[in-house]
Amino acid sequence: MLEGVRSVTKTLEDEGREVMDRTFNATPAFIGNELKEVSLDRDEFLKWETKDSGARTQYDSGMVRDSQDGKPRFDLMSPIDLPYEEQLLTRWASLMARGAQKYGDRNWEKGNGAEELERAKASAYRHFMQWYYGEVDEDHAAAGGML
């Protein structure tokens, strides 16, 4: 079973204070078409580096940022003039809340075998087709994996 992210409390010996330390263990990830467990411990996490393209944009205020070229544009996911409750991400979060009431929190993360993956893909495709053909008995766009 994929357990997700575990949190542990650690005492910093040099400072004598407690802090939250995130240990990434058995984090679910899709690799190709397979749902696998990916382990990442705290030492590996601390070795992450900030990528740098070398390209810079400087603004009139003096702020400098790296280029956005080749990076995901999450800022384009939500239409500007669409009300909050109609945003697809809000609708998907509402679907997750309804699913948690029905099946328990994070039920969708428990699948770890080919049978569960095929079942999830079949459901997503069915919801896609229902959305595509205009069925409105459920929020098929959200249920189809945020089309």
Specify the pLDDT at position 18. 47
pLDDT of residue 27: 52
Residue 102 has pLDDT above 80, yes or no: yes
Q: What residue spans define the domains of the chain?
A: 1-47, 72-147
Q: What does the pLDDT look like over 2-30, one tens digit per residue? A: 344 333 334 444 455 444 444 444 555 55
Tell me the two tokens of residue 86. Answer: 């109609």
pLDDT greater at residue 38 or residue 67:
67
Percentage of the chain exceeding pLDDT 90: 44
Whether the CB-CB separation of 142 and 89 falls below 8 Å is answered with no
Confidence of residue 1 (pLDDT cuts 50, 70, 90): very low
Residue with tokens 């991400």: 89
Contact present, 117 and 33 (Cβ < 8 Å) = yes
Place of tokens 């809000």: 90
134 φψ region: left (φ > 0), alpha (ψ -120 to 50), beta (else): left
Quote the Cα angle for 7-106-84, to 5°: 100
pTM: 0.57
DSSP-derived secondary structure letter, 138 = S
The predicted pLDDT at position 144 comes to: 85
